[in-house]
Amino acid sequence: MKSPPPFPSGWYALGFSEDLRAGMVVARKFMGREVVLFRTESGKLCVAASYCPHLGANLGKGGSICGEFLRCPFHGFTYGVNGECTSTPYGRPPPAARLDLLEAVEVSGVIIAYHHPAGTPAEWQVEPPPEDEFTWGPRRTKTWTFPGHPQETMENSIDVGHFLVTHRLQDPQVLQPLTTEGPRMSAMYAFRRPLPLLQRGVLMKLFTSSNGLGFSCHNLSVPQLGWETRLLVLPTPLDEVNMEFRTVFMGRMIPGVNRQTLTAALKTRFGAAPVELAMMQYILFEIRRDIAIFRHKRYLPRPALGREDRQIGQYRVWASQFYPSSRG
């Protein structure tokens, strides 16, 4: 088996809120389907299967917003955010003309939609990341597309062994063992990052939390720098092989840390930008190291795990809940 079953249930990202402004219509691939995202003039979000129920035009290719409605480019039928056909240019809307809607919401500036193989309503919601309400620096985003699966990329966040080799970290400590509760999972680790001029390197703490396989939040703090980076990792299956791997970066001074840090001095002089950008570049570099592995790896349903890998077995038991009719 090259991958787990391709479309696990749960909430998955379809884009960033800022990329879908009022009046916009966007086409996306999602779980082997074509979907259309639109935002009405008043700002209401809607996600639906792309094909117009009238005669099958792709609403994401030429559909337009008229006030609170999406207008099909083929015969001009209009649809509201509840899926109903509200008008046609020639007569009453046919009763069967209804959009096939996906449940969609926005969390932390990310548009997410729910997928279940049986099409059943969402049984749980994504909880906004902890401390979402606090002030973070500007959001920066980066998206990759590559062959992969969200279960595999999410597994990476609790795979302690790979941090030591792929990411060249040292002295791993488990500050919070992998903890699961329903569709949620969290863990906390600390590592030492060797640096050329600092013999002891710097301590890094990583708190990782996931809502299912499609929405995870990672806080990487470096107390010696007084800096913390929040990284959202949002893998979404496009089809049976490829996925979109969206990331969101935000940074801030760690609340309450010693103001005498280098970061504080740089912030006074230049604003937060130098440390913020350096941390983002560092994390991007490390993500590319992961992606180089993901592109070519193979999923092993029965991996040869060592004693120190036991959290991977625990993770896979947790992940199996997202395959309602099959085993993960």
Partner interacting with residue 52 (select from ligand FES, Fe ion, none; CB below 5-8 Å by kind): ligand FES
Partner interacting with residue 107 (select from Fe ion, ligand FES, none; CB below 5-8 Å by kind): none
Residue 55 CB, nearest approach to ligand FES (Å): 4
- Residue 55 near ligand FES by CB under 6 A: yes
Segment (H or E) for 53: none
Residue 167 CB, nearest approach to Fe ion (Å): 6
Q: How far apart are CA 21 and CA 25, in angstroms?
A: 9
Among 181, 267, 258, smallest CA distance to 226 is for: 258
Residue 36 CB, nearest approach to ligand FES (Å): 12
Count of alpha carbons within 13 angstroms of residue 197, beta-carbon side: 0
The tokens describing 92, both together, are 């009453």
CA distances from residue 29 to 54, 159, 273, 287, 323 in whole angstroms, order as listed: 21, 29, 35, 23, 20
Stretch that binds ligand FES, among 50-58, 125-133, 216-224, 298-306 (CB under 6 A): 50-58
Scan for tokens 């036991």, then name that residue.
310
Partner interacting with residue 156 (select from Fe ion, ligand FES, none; CB below 5-8 Å by kind): Fe ion
Residue 289 CB, nearest approach to Fe ion (Å): 7
Q: How far apart are CA 190 and CA 46, in angstroms?
A: 41
Partner interacting with residue 290 (select from Fe ion, ligand FES, none; CB below 5-8 Å by kind): Fe ion
- Residue 60 near ligand FES by CB under 6 A: no
Enumerate residues 6+ apart whose C-beta is below 8 A from 299: 1, 2, 3, 4, 149, 151, 152
Residue 20 CB, nearest approach to ligand FES (Å): 21
Length of the chain: 328
Q: How many residues bind ligand FES (CB under 6 A)?
A: 9
Residue 62 CB, nearest approach to ligand FES (Å): 10
Instruction: Report the residue number, 57 or 66, with the smaller CB distance to ligand FES.
Output: 57
Window 65-84: contact mask with ligand FES (x via CB under 6 A): -------x-xx-x-------
Instruction: Report the residue number, 270 or 285, with the smaller CB distance to Fe ion.
Output: 285
Question: Among 52, 81, 187, 232, which residue interacts with ligand FES (rule: CB under 6 A)?
Answer: 52
- Residue 25 near ligand FES by CB under 6 A: no
Q: Is 64 helix (H, G, I), strand (E, B) or coil?
A: strand
CB neighbours (10 Å) of residue 74?
15
Instruction: Report the residue number, 160 or 264, with the smaller CB distance to Fe ion.
Output: 160
The pair phi, psi for residue 125, each rounded to 5°, is: -120, 155
Contact between residue 189 and residue 206 where contact means Cβ atoms under 8 Å apart: yes
The tokens describing 136, both together, are 């973070």
Q: What is the binding site for Fe ion (CB under 5 A)?
A: 156, 290
Q: How far apart are CA 146 and CA 244, in angstroms?
A: 7
The tokens describing 212, both together, are 């299912």
- Residue 144 near ligand FES by CB under 6 A: no
- Residue 48 near ligand FES by CB under 6 A: no
Chain residues in the site for ligand FES (CB under 6 A): 52, 54-57, 72, 74-75, 77
